[in-house]
Every structure is written in C-alpha cells, then in structure tokens.
Chains A and B, each alone.
Chain A
Amino acid sequence: SQQGEEDPQALSIQEGENATMNCSYKTSINNLQWYRQNSGRGLVHLILIRSNEREKHSGRLRVTLDTSKKSSSLLITASRAADTASYFCATEAYGQNFVFGPGTRLSVLP
C-alpha cells in the first residue's frame, strides 16, 4: 500500500510556536499533498509537492519531501489559534488514486 502515515497523531502547542507534522509512505509516488480539515468541514488543499521537488513554501507553511526516506514534513510557523485543525497528507502514485493518511490533530492554544 502507498498509504501515508502522519505523526504525531495529535499535537498541542502554544500560539506563536511552530508546529511540525510528518508523513511517511511506502511506495514511490508522483506527488504528495497536504490538506487541512476543520472539525466537521471539508478538506482544504494546502500544498502540493512533486516527487522531483524537495521543498515548497506557501505563506507560513513549509513542506519538505525526502523521497529516499519516503517522508514529508509540514511546518507551520508562528502558529495561530485558527490553525487548529486536522492535517492530512495524501500521496498519489503513478496510475493510482489518492491515498490519505490518518491525519494529525493540531491544537493551538491561545
């Protein structure tokens, strides 16, 4: 299975701190994407990183991809209470569909 696995399962930090979430997968992938989900809401696309890319930035978000270790990390800098959500990585292998990991529940405390 190409399934992504995030860790930690849950993360609680203070507002202003950085939050780092990791994702590991098993097979070679075409790309990896991170999504955010507020409780009971839809999946919001954050960043896509392709297999030939190592790092991407978007605002306070920084994603890295290490294909040799089959892992990715999502860093949220200067976290805010509004960042409280579940974060999922989803991997896409060639010829296969998106597979989501179980997610990391991030709580940012004011």
Chain B
Amino acid sequence: EPEVTQTPSHQVTQMGQEVILRCVPISNHLYFYWYRQILGQKVEFLVSFYNNEISEKSEIFDDQFSVERPDGSNFTLKIRSTKLEDSAMYFCASRGTGVSGNTIYFGEGSWLTVV
C-alpha cells in the first residue's frame, strides 16, 4: 500500500535554529497537510496545501512557519527560530481526489526536540 514518508524521524535542535521537516506524499495525491502533536496531547491542524498554495492554516501556523513544495514529490515544513514549545511530533498527510479522496493518510511523523 502506498504511504506517506517523512524525514527525519527524529531531530534535536538548538533553540533559535531553523528546522526543515520533509515529507513525500503519496504520488497522485493533490492535497497535503501538516499536523502537530505535543507529547501526550491531541493532534492539531497546522496547514493545508493545494495547487501550490496554502488553502487553510490554523492560528498555530504563524510567521515562524512556512511550507513549500519545491518539486513534484516533496512537501516541506520550515520552522524558523525554533522555540522550546515547538517540541512535538509533526505529521505530514496527503489525500487524493474522487471517491478515494476522503481518506487522509498520515506519515510516521518527525519528532522535533528543541533544547
């Protein structure tokens, strides 16, 4: 079964540093998402992306965050000037269109630890 892949699986970074989390969505999917889960808490929506632009973003997704689809396969989340409270698991997800388009498939996540 096709899957969403994310790298790195775990990253430790110094506070104030920039981090880029990478995702390869399922091929032929057109909708892409980033979600965040702080340890022990619920999964929170960050941003959705379609047709090479952000379609929706939450209040969490402020100017510190940005997303990009630099080529036909990758979808990245950049976090500038990381803060301690950015420590979380970041999930990438994608979905297709048509009848199969309702299901959103998630990657295994990238653990970000800001120290």
List chain A positions with a Cβ less than 8 A from chain B: 30-31, 33, 35, 40-45, 48, 50, 88, 90, 92, 96-103
Question: What residues make up the interface of B, taking CB atoms closer than 8 Å to A?
Answer: 33, 35, 41-45, 48, 56, 89, 91, 93, 102-109, 111
B107 / chain A contacts, CB cutoff of 8 Å: 42
List 7 other contacts, CB 8 Å, given A40-B111, A88-B42: A30-B102, A35-B106, A43-B106, A45-B106, A50-B102, A90-B104, A101-B42
Instruction: Tell me the interface secondary structure of chain A in the complex.
Output: strand
B16 to chain A, nearest CB (A): 26
**A98 engages B45 (CB within 8 Å):** yes
In the complex, A48 Cα to B109 Cα: how many Å?
21
Given contacts A41-B108, A42-B109, A43-B91, contact A100 B42 (CB under 8 A): yes
Contact sample, A vs B, 7 pairs, CB 8 Å cutoff: A41-B108, A42-B109, A45-B105, A90-B104, A98-B45, A101-B42, A102-B41
